[in-house]
Structure 1
């Protein structure tokens, strides 16, 4: 006998879902604790539109944030004024002094302002949860709430509850049809027979179907994973030489040759790849069209690599004293520490960090090479 499980009657009406979504957004706008609980989901920003970042790939200025949300800069400043501590907890900072000089050098900002506010991606998302009258901010909140629902733990499917109720009803009905059975042993035997029959005719087929479906799904997933792997390989073969994935995939030799090509592209001649000598050598020595000597050290990407102030100090000494460099470039496809960037700025050394390297690879000429 086929299972006939009654359809659910207590699901939400579409109007209720829309109202619930609206209430969620209102709560998000009003509740700092709710905003804090989803502050890490800054990936939703990219689902709405591209966020312009400074060359370090980590920060956006007030102007960038205003452009992203399609509002004026005074609107963003008003949000900062009203929620400064919350934004600061999510990465908003005001740069001044040496930090500002370093940031201007890295990002190419020509402003004479004595301070600049910068937002982390997390702080930009925080701003989206505070801006009431921006269409873009509302779209971000919609994606955010939908993503949060998708990741939240959902209750057990109503089908299981209805199947349980159906089995209980069948057992109760069957017992009602055997009134003459002895109270103890007879009732127990009847109940056991009913349970066995129910399991054999209803539950086992359902489980078998679920197992078959699970196997089919696993096969589809494996096929999709194979296809994704193939497509990723094709994309890596076709992607620009200076893209993030391409840089990460380069060997030390390939990375050095790539930097040498960029120097030649920007007019340096001759360009000599020396290969370096341990911690004191230069990887590339080149000359700009106006005769300035360029000394380059190259550090490709590895998961554990980070450029510290000690690395910068060692390279500055080697480049200036041993190689008489007019232009010193420390090129790395990995992060620089804050102290390393500040030290490089103080000693007029160009720290070509990951974000700047991607821009250079994409056709932007380094400030150090310009007359």
Structure 2
């Protein structure tokens, strides 16, 4: 392509040089009567230069269709996102053997095992209380907060209040669940009952894991309109 371009530029230069030489010769000869023929020759030479330029442009141009095909050839087809949910197995569900992040993945694995779709682990900085989100088989959106605590570190009412302030309004939960490896204080369970948040303590978690109890979203959630005694 570059060789053709150089050749074309050379041809254009030759034509222009010949035209200049012709005009200079005509002027030296003093043949002023040939003004009209000279103008005709100038026009012919100019058309020749233009024709060469157009030929080069047409030869060096890459068709738009081919350019588009080349650009899009390496673009992969769209595919569904792959969710980072571990396989459900004994190690995945060993809550005592994992850290806080591993516990979130273990809870996500339980959700996937029990038929949820669109299971995502979303915990981290700025999660506003949601660690795992999922959709049940009947289409309800479940938002879970995971508390990987030691047995003597109970989940308090402030934890529940922070989660209660975002789970429904921000995360649009149909079912809100707090899962812990420890237990809940009495004020925490009272607040949860008022807001309709399901509390799963260490004992209930073990039963859920061993399939001795239904999944939290299948259990009867407290009625948020029922006043606390």
**TM-score under structure 1 length normalisation:** 0.33
1:299 to 140, 144, 147: 147
Distance, in Å, in 2 between the alignment partners of 1:370 and 1:331 is: 14
Do structure 1's residue 290 and structure 2's residue 138 form an aligned pair? yes
Greater helix fraction, Structure 1 or Structure 2 = 1
CA contact (8 A) 1:305 1:334 kept: yes
Distance, in Å, in 1 between the alignment partners of 2:192 and 2:144 is: 14
Partner of residue 104, structure 2: 256
Distance, in Å, in 2 between the alignment partners of 1:296 and 1:281 is: 8
CA contact (8 A) 2:141 2:173 kept: yes
From the superposition, tell whether residues 327 and 242 of structure 1 become closer, same or farther in structure 2 (CA, over 3 Å): same
Instruction: Please tell me whether Structure 1 or Structure 2 has the larger radius of gyration of its CA atoms.
Output: 2
Deviation at 1:367, TM superposition (A): 4.5
**How do 1:251-330 residues align onto structure 2 when only pairs under 5 Å count?**
251-278=99-126, 280-302=128-150, 305-330=153-178
**How do 1:1-371 residues align onto structure 2 when only pairs under 5 Å count?**
240-241=90-91, 246-278=94-126, 280-302=128-150, 305-363=153-211, 364-369=213-218
How many residues are matched? 131
Deviation at 1:315, TM superposition (A): 0.5
CA contact (8 A) 2:143 2:176 kept: yes
CA contact (8 A) 1:260 1:284 kept: yes
Secondary structure in 1 aligned to 2:125?
Answer: coil
CA contact (8 A) 1:248 1:301 kept: no
CA contact (8 A) 1:266 1:369 kept: no
Distance, in Å, in 2 between the alignment partners of 1:332 and 1:370 is: 17
From the superposition, tell whether residues 301 and 248 of structure 1 become closer, same or farther in structure 2 (CA, over 3 Å): farther
Distance, in Å, in 1 between the alignment partners of 2:183 and 2:219 is: 24
Distance, in Å, in 2 between the alignment partners of 1:266 and 1:335 is: 23
Secondary structure in 1 aligned to 2:123?
Answer: coil
- Structure 2: state its 5+ residue gaps: 1-88, 221-229
Deviation at 1:288, TM superposition (A): 0.7
**Superposition RMSD in Å:** 2.4
Distance, in Å, in 1 between the alignment partners of 2:183 and 2:202 is: 6
Distance, in Å, in 1 between the alignment partners of 2:129 and 2:159 is: 13
Q: Which stretches of structure 1, 4 residues or more, deviate above 3 A after TM superposition?
A: 239-243
Secondary structure in 2 aligned to 1:294?
Answer: strand
TM-superposition CA deviations, 1:34-69 (whole Å, max 9, x none): xxxxxxxxxxxxxxxxxxxxxxxxxxxxxxxxxxxx
Deviation at 1:303, TM superposition (A): 5.6
TM-superposition CA deviations, 1:8-33 (whole Å, max 9, x none): xxxxxxxxxxxxxxxxxxxxxxxxxx
Deviation at 1:360, TM superposition (A): 0.6
CA contact (8 A) 1:274 1:282 kept: yes
Distance, in Å, in 2 between the alignment partners of 1:309 and 1:293 is: 24
**TM-score under structure 2 length normalisation:** 0.52
Distance, in Å, in 2 between the alignment partners of 1:329 and 1:287 is: 13
CA contact (8 A) 1:242 1:361 kept: no
Partner of residue 79, structure 2: none
TM-superposition CA deviations, 1:103-134 (whole Å, max 9, x none): xxxxxxxxxxxxxxxxxxxxxxxxxxxxxxxx
